[in-house]
Chain A
Amino acid sequence: MTALLEVEDLRVAYGKIEAVKGISFTVQQGEIVTLIGTNGAGKTTTLRTLSGLIKPRGGQIKFEGKSLKKVQAHDIVALGLAHSPEGRHIFPRMTIEDNLLLGAYLKNDKVGIQQDIDRAYELFPILGERRKQAAGTLSGGEQQMLAMGRALMCRPKLLMLDEPSMGLSPLMMQKIMATIAELKAAGTTILLVEQNAQAALSLADQGHVMEIGKIVLSGPGRELLVNEDVRKAYLGED
């Protein structure tokens, strides 16, 4: 069986500075795969390249066997790859409901869209309570919920989440992580980028540790969680 997403020797550069220096990994149907690492490791750049916002300098990206290298960002969404970006990037001056509708921009079935909106409100009841409010008035955690709900609106085959726990209270972070586990249980395939290695690895089937543009360590999430190097570098133990 071919992987849902295959990344091979991916290289991305900003001008002369190479931010991603030839990484390879795969995501299988139904898995959670996580990329962990510190700031500047190239995790966000990797996701932005996968969703077509940045064009790679070299390597190969295949989604369901189809190369994404020459596909434009908006067409990549149409193929079923959703991206909830770092820093949430909700549309602050639009209502929560309009934000969700934008997530369904490529969908045409009114009934289905309404069902998806209802499902988002079921997943995150607070969004339903505030549906007519400007999204900018939400707290950080609520904005994260909105960003995830919005990404789910396109019924993605692969959901990419960039640092969903960033800047959240521990309680809110638990809630977000529980939701990610829930989504996986419902069959969603997820590529999760996190600085919070503990939380990410506990959820992940596969984990990859990135350092300055390279993958330095890979393995099942549970194994990495107990790996000594990982514990020293990312879990704050000596």
Chain B
Amino acid sequence: MHELPQQLVNGLLLGSMYGLVAIGYTMVYGIVQLINFAHGEIFMTGGFGALTVWLMLPGGTTMWVALPLMLIGAIIVATLIAVGAERFAYRPLRSAPRLAPLITAIGLSIVLQQAVWAWYPDAKSSVVFPEIPGGPFHIGSITIQTGDVFLLLAAPVSMAFLGFFVKKTRTGRGMQATAQDPDTAKLMGINTDRIITVAFALGATFAAVGAVAYGLKYGEVNYRMGFILGLKAFTAAVLGGIGNIYGAMIGGIVLGLAETLTTAYIADVPGMSQLGGQSWGNTWAFVLLILVLLFRPQGLLGERVADRA
């Protein structure tokens, strides 16, 4: 088990990114019982939003100035698309059978991917994302890449903000009430349509933070980046117990750790030498999902089984 601390940190970082995106799946599901399969693409548009801001800034702008602006750009783009999707694609189907919005979500995800592919300049393949200069940083035997420093800060800050928002603000209480019992929430005077919009907007905001983290981590964004990552984040949400915002983060971290550790070490297990390495990482992530669903179908922190599509 050489380099175990390093692998744990890598897993934690990867998992925090999954967790940031997973929050959007879990919040929307918790409130409207919709698996928003377009959420991965909302994450992707956030990445392109940040990139666009970078390209618009005058040459020579330092990252310390650019990064906050890019983050704001990412959040604005992702939020507008998510709120627009809710308003024009999902809301008209609110009382339709569950499959209708689900299929709409899959359709929307394809539309968003293809729209970026077709219309974003030079986005037919990966586009280079700016780097934070300096680093990497060494703490004992652990190396942290400069791009990951953003994630290291952004993930806990996002989580603390979300916890505060949901628990301590009036709108947050309204969200909890709407998730638990929408009709009774209306009887409290809660505009549940507005709460749903807020849930989509918040989910998109965290996805946008995740997208900037992705760009900095891998040094690129591309129109397909939301597909596998969205699937992983969805897995994280289910692992943690869909509908539970802390579960999303914990599910993400468990998934990130599992993926990193199996990639690094499973080949050392006798008889498994063929099954290690990067190309098997996804497989092990989903094996973990299957195992959790077999033995704890409500997820790690979930309270009840998802009963609708």
Contacts and interface: CB of A to CB of B under 8 A. Distances in A.
Contact of A73 (B173, B176, B177, B187): B187
Interface centre among B176, B180, B181, B186 (most CB of A within 10 A): B186
Contacts of B177: 91, 94, 102
A74 interface: yes
B170 A105 contact: yes
Interface stretch (B15-23, B148-156, B188-196): B188-196
A93 B181 CA distance: 11
A53 B186 contact: yes
Interface in A81-117: 82-83, 85, 89, 91-94, 98, 101-103, 105-106
A52 B186 contact: yes
Contact of B180 (A72, A91, A105, A150): A91
A123 to B, nearest CB: 19
B26 to A, nearest CB: 15
A85 B187 contact: yes
Contacts of A73: 186-187
B188 A102 contact: yes
Contacts of B183: 53, 85, 89
A206 interface: no
A74 B178 CA distance: 12
A19 to B, nearest CB: 16
A83 B180 contact: no
B188 A89 contact: no
Interface string A144-183: 0000001100100000000000000000000000000000
B63 to A, nearest CB: 42
A91 B187 CA distance: 12
A14 to B, nearest CB: 13
Contacts of A82: 187
B273 interface: no
A91 B189 contact: no
A199 interface: no
B189 A89 contact: no
A82 B189 CA distance: 9
23 contacts: A51-B186, A53-B183, A53-B187, A73-B186, A74-B192, A77-B186, A77-B187, A89-B181, A89-B184, A91-B176, A91-B180, A92-B180, A94-B173, A94-B176, A94-B177, A94-B180, A101-B173, A102-B174, A102-B190, A105-B174, A105-B188, A105-B189, A150-B188
Contact of B187 (A83, A93, A101): A83
Contacts of A53: 183, 186-187
Interface string A52-92: 11000000000000000000111001100011010001011
A198 B19 CA distance: 57
How many interface residues does chain A have, given as a range? 20 to 34
Nearest to A99: B177
Nearest to B183: A53
Given A73-B187, A102-B174, 8 more contacts: A53-B186, A74-B192, A92-B180, A98-B176, A102-B173, A102-B190, A154-B188, A154-B189
B189 A78 contact: yes
Interface centre among B173, B186, B187, B190 (most CB of A within 10 A): B187
Interface in B122-174: 170, 173-174
A101 B170 CA distance: 8
A102 B180 CA distance: 13
Interface in B183-210: 183-192
Contacts of B173: 94, 98, 101-102, 105
Nearest to A136: B180
Interface centre among B174, B180, B184, B190 (most CB of A within 10 A): B184
Contacts of A103: 188
A154 B186 CA distance: 13
A44 to B, nearest CB: 12
A215 to B, nearest CB: 24
A73 B194 CA distance: 13
Interface centre among B177, B181, B189 (most CB of A within 10 A): B189
A133 to B, nearest CB: 16
Interface string A28-68: 00000000000000000000000111000000000000000
Contacts of A105: 170, 173-174, 188-190
A85 B184 contact: yes
A70 to B, nearest CB: 15
Interface centre among B170, B177, B180, B188 (most CB of A within 10 A): B188
A129 to B, nearest CB: 22
A94 B168 CA distance: 12
Contacts of B190: 74, 102, 105
Contacts of B181: 89, 91
A72 B190 CA distance: 10
A54 to B, nearest CB: 10
Contacts of B186: 51-53, 72-74, 77
